[in-house]
C-alpha cells in the first residue's frame, strides 16, 4: 500500500496511478482526494504488477474515466480516446457516486480538509 493508493504499487505504477488521478481532476472537475478515492474503490482488488503492468498498454484515461462515469445507453464506457469517444455525450453519462466518506478508499490528507469543510457546510445549513 502506498500513502495514496490502497494497492501495492512500485514507483512506476505509482506514477501511472497518479496520472489516472490527474485525469479525473482535470476532466471531471473533482478534488484530488476524491479522484484517489474513486480509483482506490475501482481497482482495490486488482493485483498490479511492476511497471509496466498490463494496464500500461492503455492510456491512464482508459482506466480513470470508468471510476467516474457509468456506461451509456449502448453499454459503452468512455475510453479517453477522442476518436473512440466522439459518439459519447458526456453530459448524459451516469456518474458514479463518490465513495462514502468513512470508507477506507479515502487515503489522501486532503480528505481530512474536505471532510472538515463538508461538516462546516452542513452545520451552516442547519
Q: What is the DSSP letter of 67?
A: G
| 78 and 59 Cβ atoms separated by less than 8 Å | no
C-alpha gyration radius of the chain: 15
Q: What is the DSSP letter of 55?
A: G
Instruction: Single out the residue of 75, 74, 72 nearest to residue 94, CA to CA.
Output: 72
Confidence (pTM): 0.84
Residue 117 parent element (H or E): helix 109-125
Name 77's Cβ contacts closer than 8 Å, sequence gap at least 6.
Answer: 65, 66, 69, 70, 71
Domain boundaries, the chain: 11-125
Q: Which residues of the chain register pLDDT less than 50?
A: 112-113, 115-126
Give the span between the Cα atoms of 77 and 81, in whole angstroms: 11
For the chain, give the mean pLDDT: 89
pLDDT digits (tens, 9 = 90+) for 77-95: 999 999 999 999 999 999 9
Amino acid at each position: 500500500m502506498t500513502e495514496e493508493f490502497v494497492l501495492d504499487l512500485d514507483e512506476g505504477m505509482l506514477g501511472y496511478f497518479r496520472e489516472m488521478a490527474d485525469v479525473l481532476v482535470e476532466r471531471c472537475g473533482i478534488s484530488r482526494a476524491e479522484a484517489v478515492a474513486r480509483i482506490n474503490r475501482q481497482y482495490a482488488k486488482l493485483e498490479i504488477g511492476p511497471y509496466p503492468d498490463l494496464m500500461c498498454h492503455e492510456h491512464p484515461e482508459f482506466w480513470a474515466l470508468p471510476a467516474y462515469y457509468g456506461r451509456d445507453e449502448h453499454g459503452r464506457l468512455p475510453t479517453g480516446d477522442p476518436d473512440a469517444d466522439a459518439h459519447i455525450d458526456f453530459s448524459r453519462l451516469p456518474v458514479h457516486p463518490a465513495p462514502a466518506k468513512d470508507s477506507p478508499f479515502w487515503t489522501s490528507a486532503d480528505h481530512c480538509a474536505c471532510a472538515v469543510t463538508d461538516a462546516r457546510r452542513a452545520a451552516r445549513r442547519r
